[in-house]
Structure 1
Amino acid sequence: MKVLPRRRRAVLLNSLLGVVLLAGGGLAYATVNADASSTSRTGQTRTATVAKGTVLATVSGSGTLASPTDAGADFVTGGTLTSVKVAVGDKVTKGQVLAKVSTTDAQAKVDAAQAALNTAQAALTKAQAGETVTTTVPGTTTVPGTTTVPGTGTGTGSAGRSGGQSGQSGGQGAGGGDGGESSTPVTTTTTKVDASAVAQAEQQVTEAQNNLTDAQTALDGTVLKAPVAGTVASVAGKVGDTVSGSGSGSSGSGQGGSTGSTGSSSSSSGTPTGFVVITNPAGMQVDASFSESDALKVKKGQAATVTLNAQSDTELNAKVLSISSLPTSSGSGSGSGSAVQYAATLKITSPTGKLRTGMSATISVVTGEADDALYVPTNAVSGTGASRTATVVKDDGSTERRTVEVGIEGDSSVQVTSGLSVGEKVELTSTTASGGNGFPSGGFPGVSGFGGGAAGFGGGMQGSRFSGGGRR
């Protein structure tokens, strides 16, 4: 028996191994390809039944909860805290005293302003009274040797006597010519009012009244009152601390009007700040943002749902209050990288007692709704616009291409207004693999490589044959 050389036995063994591997690979490829073909054929005939129900079209956005009655309260007048009457978590009512600062300086200013007003009012009273002037006017003077005759005037003394003796009208003479010279003075009193002095005094009274009002406001501002009802969320100091004042009386950021003793401020994000911050979930709203394409579909009064990001199982009902026509933000970059958003405000209509300002949420606004409508899955119709096409699958397996009219397009279904009947089956658009057999390349993984590998394997065998050249 002839024994094969060692090198020839190795080549033969490698050849037999290659044949086995090729056979196994071919069997696996055939099996997988057969399964993929079956799946593909099944996918091509997937169907759905035309049903009846409600179709909703929605758009989504994101936002945060905010209450219009949240408020931050600050002292109008600064000073040293003499009392703090609330703590975090306390419930307060509108107008309730929250804290006080020392009134010493403020009261002194009120007293000084009141004294100045009293002085100004006294000066006005004097100016309005004016100045009294007395004037004396000389009386009637009688010259010696003359007389005054009623009805005839005056004449000489002899003529008067003659007239008296004759008994003519006018009677006896008044003794003119016999008496001496006499005079009776006349005294008059007048009041003079200087109009310019009165106007100046009135202006001084007005200024004094304004100063007193400001001083009284500052005194009132040493007492901090709650601008709204709610829960104390933060207190910024304790008795003995020095706090600054806002310098003017104003209401909190929420509703309720001016208290005359409370200032307020808010951060850039709209969250109220102040010595005491009060939150109130009543009337809770959502400040949301929508993409430019979705914002065009959002309208005032539309219904919406709000899902809290921290509690995904909590869904709240809401209603759109407003949608801005101005953009709120734009992403950086160009082309598809840029993003324009528009702000909307929604009011939560579900109970809000357990909600908190600042919680993040996802908002879904219903932009279209069709009740008791025929509908099919979105991928059961083809085309765009109101007129589409659908493939109806009959009981015998045959198909019919139909034109259908569509209405509301929902997230996963579309309303059918004509062309289909409830209960009919429609063919769904299939999604097939690119290779037709479940593999991207259309072949068994590594088969082409295996083929190449086979060639390589052959080459490898050849290489094996020649790897030991010179060692024959």
Structure 2
Amino acid sequence: MKALRRPSTAVNALLALLIVGAAFWGWTLLKDTDSDTGANASGLRTLTVEQGTVTKTVEADGSVESASTATATFGTAGTVTAIKVKVGDKVTSGQLLARVDDTGAARSLDLAEANLDAAEDALGRAQDAGTDTSSATNEVAQAELAVDEAEAAVAGTKLTAPMAGTVTAVNGTLGGSSSGAEGSGFLDIADLGKLQITAAFSEADATELKEGQAATVTWNALQGAETTGQVVAVDPTATTDDSVVTYGVTVSLPNPPDGAKPGQTVTVSVITGNVENAVLINSAAVTTTGNRHVVTVVGTGNQQETRQVQVGLEGDDAYQITSGLTAGERVVIPTSTTTSSTSNSNNSGPGGFMGGGGGAPPGGR
């Protein structure tokens, strides 16, 4: 019987050791989790003040367009007798694009030239007779002007390309009027090798935009397509649509991705502020009232101190602290923002940083 009891004692001892080991492992795991999330023994959610880069950006939807366009319009009204190009054709400057019936214009030119000949003959007779030539001279000048106008009318029956590029629209039809569609020229041409972006920014964001700022352009239709450009113009006047005020902004596109075409939709993000080597903290930890910014600092023994700080650049997710805090200090996330700040602390964004116990600052991922 003693021999039978001995194995039971050994098994019980082994089970006891396993239970103790599991309890210790669980305690260690919970401790590590608390450390990672910034929770302390009192249940406070905290963040560590970091040193890194604070970035502020503004964003708007935009579209791709050609940076160089032209409209070809007939100089003479008439019925279209020939259209020599179609949408998508590449043309050179001065190339013949279309014609209108030149019968009337040619007849007018013949008549104007005949009138000029007659006026010049009359001037010659007056000069030979030694009489007053002022009237005859005036008639010649008028006849020369009429010839010039008639020649221009004949030339206007031929539509030529004002620039090299690609035909993007044909607004008229064969046998139709030379004026094309109402409010447009007969043909539209664009240089598809020179593209740019136009976007409408809110009035608040537009106040921070100026020429030369860097921009990132992301395509909606081209998966993974992204490129950089610069702000080249901000409209001086606003556009109001349904009480929404926006300002047009033009962004250069020196290196468009493959497949980029006019009319495509994009998202434009412009960097309006950037401070490197800044003392920074997640904006969720800062309570702002008017121009006053305060944080709650956790000291030794979890002692809490309400402290006023000076904020520099207010970045996308982080604030630059110019005075009142030093890197390494811990600050409390107010209870009302715990949910949102917890989300922020697990994601690094422009100007933000990994939160919860002092993760890596921006640029250090």
Give the TM-score normalised by structure 1: 0.55
Find the counterpart in structure 2 of residue 416 from structure 1. 321
Find the counterpart in structure 2 of residue 365 from structure 1. 270
Find the counterpart in structure 1 of residue 176 from structure 2. 243
Find the counterpart in structure 2 of residue 381 from structure 1. 286
Q: Give the Å deviation of 1:130.
A: 5.7
Q: Give the Å deviation of 1:228.
A: 1.9
Letter in 2 for 1:89: G
Q: 1:276 aligns with which of 168, 171, 187?
A: 187
Letter in 2 for 1:231: T
Q: Give the Å deviation of 1:329.
A: 0.7
Cα deviation, 1:299-324, whole Å, max 9, x if unaligned, reads: 23333233334347433323233333
The separation in 2 between residues aligned to 1:94 and 1:395, in whole angstroms, is: 77
The separation in 1 between residues aligned to 2:182 and 2:49, in whole angstroms, is: 55
The separation in 2 between residues aligned to 1:242 and 1:236, in whole angstroms, is: 13
The separation in 2 between residues aligned to 1:318 and 1:325, in whole angstroms, is: 21
Cα deviation, 1:227-280, whole Å, max 9, x if unaligned, reads: 122222233567xx323235xxxxxxxxxxxxxxxxx9895xxxxx44332222
Find the counterpart in structure 2 of residue 86 from structure 1. 85
Q: Give the Å deviation of 1:206.
A: 2.3
The separation in 2 between residues aligned to 1:430 and 1:121, in whole angstroms, is: 98
Matched, 1:392 2:297: yes
Find the counterpart in structure 2 of residue 294 from structure 1. 205
Find the counterpart in structure 1 of residue 134 from structure 2. 199
Change (3 A) 1:49 1:209: farther
The separation in 2 between residues aligned to 1:281 and 1:386, in whole angstroms, is: 49
The separation in 2 between residues aligned to 1:46 and 1:304, in whole angstroms, is: 36
Find the counterpart in structure 1 of residue 215 from structure 2. 304
Find the counterpart in structure 2 of residue 179 from structure 1. none
Q: Percent identity?
A: 40
Q: 1:228 aligns with which of 163, 174, 193?
A: 163
Change (3 A) 1:355 1:123: farther
Find the counterpart in structure 1 of residue 244 from structure 2. 339
Matched, 1:110 2:15: no
Q: Give the Å deviation of 1:353.
A: 6.9
Runs of 5+ unmatched residues, structure 2: 1-33, 340-365
How big is the alpha-carbon RMSD for the aligned residues of Structure 1 and Structure 2? 3.4
Find the counterpart in structure 1 of residue 6 from structure 2. none
Runs of 5+ unmatched residues, structure 1: 1-37, 132-190, 247-263, 268-272, 332-337, 435-472
Q: Which has the larger radius of gyration?
A: 1
Q: Give the Å deviation of 1:408.
A: 0.8
Q: Give the Å deviation of 1:87.
A: 2.8
Contact 1:281 1:354 in 2 (8 A): no
Letter in 1 for 2:246: Q
Cα deviation, 1:325-383, whole Å, max 9, x if unaligned, reads: 4331152xxxxxx4333333333343377433333333333222212322211112222
Find the counterpart in structure 1 of residue 146 from structure 2. 211
The separation in 1 between residues aligned to 2:271 and 2:279, in whole angstroms, is: 19
The separation in 1 between residues aligned to 2:156 and 2:177, in whole angstroms, is: 11
Change (3 A) 1:329 1:44: farther
Q: Give the Å deviation of 1:407.
A: 1.0
Letter in 2 for 1:366: I
Cα deviation, 1:393-436, whole Å, max 9, x if unaligned, reads: 347544444333221111111112233333333222333799xx
Find the counterpart in structure 2 of residue 327 from structure 1. 238
Change (3 A) 1:209 1:356: farther
The separation in 2 between residues aligned to 1:369 and 1:432, in whole angstroms, is: 25
Q: Give the Å deviation of 1:216.
A: 1.3
The separation in 2 between residues aligned to 1:48 and 1:307, in whole angstroms, is: 32
The separation in 1 between residues aligned to 2:67 and 2:134, in whole angstroms, is: 48
Change (3 A) 1:53 1:118: farther
The separation in 1 between residues aligned to 2:139 and 2:96, in whole angstroms, is: 36
* 3-state SS of 1:431 partner: helix
Contact 1:324 1:344 in 2 (8 A): yes
* 3-state SS of 1:200 partner: helix
* 3-state SS of 2:68 partner: coil
Change (3 A) 1:211 1:89: same
Find the counterpart in structure 2 of residue 95 from structure 1. 94
Change (3 A) 1:88 1:283: closer
Letter in 1 for 2:189: I
Q: Give the Å deviation of 1:83.
A: 4.0
Cα deviation, 1:446-472, whole Å, max 9, x if unaligned, reads: xxxxxxxxxxxxxxxxxxxxxxxxxxx
Contact 1:81 1:99 in 2 (8 A): yes
Length, aligned pairs only: 302
Cα deviation, 1:169-220, whole Å, max 9, x if unaligned, reads: xxxxxxxxxxxxxxxxxxxxxx4x32xxx33223322222222122212221
Letter in 1 for 2:275: A
The separation in 2 between residues aligned to 1:357 and 1:56, in whole angstroms, is: 30
Contact 2:65 2:198 in 1 (8 A): yes
Change (3 A) 1:96 1:388: same
The separation in 2 between residues aligned to 1:100 and 1:205, in whole angstroms, is: 32
The separation in 2 between residues aligned to 1:347 and 1:316, in whole angstroms, is: 10
Contact 1:281 1:355 in 2 (8 A): no
The separation in 1 between residues aligned to 2:152 and 2:43, in whole angstroms, is: 81
Change (3 A) 1:357 1:428: same
The separation in 2 between residues aligned to 1:222 and 1:99, in whole angstroms, is: 8
Letter in 2 for 1:229: A
Contact 2:93 2:161 in 1 (8 A): yes
Find the counterpart in structure 2 of residue 67 from structure 1. 66
Change (3 A) 1:308 1:265: farther
